[in-house]
Chains A and B, each alone.
Chain A
Amino acid sequence: AQSVTQLDSQVPVFEEAPVELRCNYSSSVSVYLFWYVQYPNQGLQLLLKYLSGSTLVKGINGFEAEFNKSQTSFHLRKPSVHISDTAEYFCAVSGRSSASKIIFGSGTRLSIRP
């Protein structure tokens, strides 16, 4: 079984400040890792994913995440946030077989203050 923990339900940040959204996962097998973003009243959009290889993964909108196997973490970072980054961010895992279900964390609401 897999699970995902997002420790911060809300993260307020000033515009142009850096941000880190934390994610830890638990799994007895190797997994793929994802970050999804959900803008208000919209569906889920993939920000980035880790499948294998380099542990630093770059995604859309200037976001990046680092896979740390020993700490079972996959924290999301952005060096300078914008008002448009205001959204809910979900960390997620899936198994490595084709079309595995995605297990989501509870989400972190990122609010950007001008």
Chain B
Amino acid sequence: RKEVEQDPGPFNVPEGATVAFNCTYSNSASQSFFWYRQDCRKEPKLLMSVYSSGNEDGRFTAQLNRASQYISLLIRDSKLSDSATYLCVVNRRSGGYQKVTFGTGTKLQVIP
């Protein structure tokens, strides 16, 4: 089983729709969680950190469920510019350093 799993998609949604992605992680010792956004042939960019209490940044809401070991990303009022691949990232301590594991990403295509 992969340490971090995501549905690869693609998720094709109309402009203005609400879309949600989940990401599951297998190691209960995981400590911190992030969502990154990656455009085609570009570098990943940090979108937001994910906290147990949930956090919101404009149209984006991230949530962590430690009991079920998943994190989620909700995008409201989708824009064409939201089309990208969204990477789930999980950190945990391993052998004296922070091990960073990326999911394979979920592709979102927002359609006019």
Say whether A associates with B: no
